[in-house]
Amino acid sequence: MLSIRAMFSTDAMRALWTDASVYAAMLRFEAALAHTQAGLGMIPPAAAESIQAVCARPQAFDWAAISAEARKAGTAAIPFIKALKQEVARLAPAHAACVHYGSTSQDVCETALALQTRAALRLVHAQLLDLGDALAALAAAHRRTPMLARTLMQPAAPVSFGWKAAGWLDALARCAAALRDAGEASRVIQFGGSNGACSALGPQGQDLAAGVAAMLGLRATAIAWQSARDRLARLGNELALCCAMLGKIGRDISLLMQSEVGEAFEPEGAGRGGSSAMPHKRNPMASMHMIDAALRAPPLALALVSDMNAEQERGLGSWPNALPLLADLFMLLDNSLSMAVETLRGLRVSPAAMRANLARQHGVIHSESLGMLLGRELGADTGRRIVDALCRQALETGVDLDELVLRHPEVNGRISAARIAQACSVERCLDAADTQCAAVLAQWSVRRADLRAHTLGADDSLP
């Protein structure tokens, strides 16, 4: 259903994977192929001009009809080339024989896929940069906003919300860099002719591949890769890892939004996150999208990995799967990113709720540092026995742990109040978190510049 796909993808990314867009990339390949072949003396210049003229008129083709034929042919290339030859024949009958000269179905389809993934990566990289900037802003603004850490879903020693955002940012920076590298590795032309070795074209085959690649903004390879699927598998895996990374952020935000926690909230808006039955509800809609992508992307990436055992020089029907698999992966990631950017830019943080949740713990969240202090002064076993008993007492009576420790007969007079206060200090925890937060923010400045330099073209003007 188109409505289902629209629900889980953005208009901009979806537009890249329409029939018309994919076939336009195939036309670009055929136009570049003819132009380069004419320059190498392989076809008459007049034939190249006819082919290029037809390729410049995508409106002349019935893409729906061609797609319908593709199901029977097993690949879109066969009805596509047939239609292209027919259009060239209408313009100049003698030139139709020069269409797709020396090439094969996988050449045009895989090279078009490389062009589409390059365009899709532009959208994704821009969103990754936006999200990184949003996370960096949160990390900087809340470097000393104390909150509970939670391990195994239970309260742990305090951190800052800025530290939490810095952890998200650190993971995003790694995933963005790995995706950039995988995308760059897949920015290659596929050209090998019927058997992969350009046998019909002879020594000029590699020159032809290099020329076509240059025209399309791709790179040539030392050998055709139609049965070596590792580049696409690696790209798919990095797309899935980015989705999983965003799913972690979405999961955390959805937990912070629970009414029992109430520490951070997705931005509000008309029609956003409502309930059809319960008007009071404020559902974590963006987090749902991020978690959904994290769940659905890994099996798609696994399918691309499974295609790496393609038979001999061309796999039996498996290689056409790359296009729909990568299209879905890109749409899931782009949708998740758009939700994440909107959410993190407008995230409403409640420091008051964070402080209240800390206070409800009555200091037991400092049991680790307090136990280390008592263990050094009184012995490990004695220190642990005292802290264990007093933690239970603090939660039962509502008296803070540091007060109970000060009054304990085995501690009173042996360890100063100042040292106990330091062991139970939120500021001590914030100092430790702030050091790491500062390091991540400094790294992002460098990584951001590096990502921008590698992912934006000369014609881009992103800030």
Catalytic residue numbers read 275, 314
- Asked whether 53 and 89 are in contact (CB, 8 A), the reply is no
Contacts of 304 (CB under 8 A, 6+ apart): 229, 232, 233, 235, 236, 237, 321, 322, 325, 326
CA–CA separation, 115 and 81 (whole Å): 18
CA–CA separation, 105 and 89 (whole Å): 20
Helical residues (DSSP H) of 257-400, grouped into ranges: 285-306, 322-346, 351-359, 367-378, 380-397
Phi-psi region of 120 (alpha: psi -120 to 50; beta: other; left: phi over 0): alpha
Contacts of 242 (CB under 8 A, 6+ apart): 124, 128, 175, 176, 179, 333, 337
Running DSSP on this structure, what letter comes out for residue 60? G
Contacts of 302 (CB under 8 A, 6+ apart): none
Asked whether the CA dihedral 8, 11, 13, 18 is positive or negative, the reply is positive
Choose among 103, 93, 24, 11: nearest CA to 56.
24
- Asked whether 374 and 383 are in contact (CB, 8 A), the reply is yes
- Asked whether 145 and 160 are in contact (CB, 8 A), the reply is yes
Phi-psi region of 287 (alpha: psi -120 to 50; beta: other; left: phi over 0): alpha
As beta bridge partners, residue 188 has 219
Contacts of 311 (CB under 8 A, 6+ apart): 227
CB atoms near residue 339 (< 10 Å): 23
